Amino acid sequence: MSDRDDKETRESKPKREVARLIALAVLTVALAAFVIDNTQSVRVGFVFDERNPPLIWVLVVTLLLGALIGRLASWLRNR
């Protein structure tokens, strides 16, 4: 490896770190806007009960349940 390749590698690492930080900042702002926009209560009917949680919690629980079911299906398929 030449000195030029070493220098390019050293210079590209900080650029990647900056790009990651910018992407993280953009995602954080987008997530905050999403949470703030979805604070209204929604009616959720269960088998024997009905609740009015904030929409963001319904979305988070749905996301987690979907991820869990996806992982379980993947695990069962690979067994």
The predicted-structure confidence for 20-48, as pLDDT tens digits, reads as follows 999 999 999 998 998 889 889 999 998 88
In DSSP terms, 51 is beta-bridged to 44
Give the pTM: 0.62
Tell me what the mean pLDDT of segment 65-75 comes to.
94
Predicted local confidence at residue 5, as pLDDT: 58
CB 50 within 8 A of CB 43: yes
Q: What pLDDT is attached to residue 4?
A: 60
The span from the CA of 55 to the CA of 37, in Å, is 9
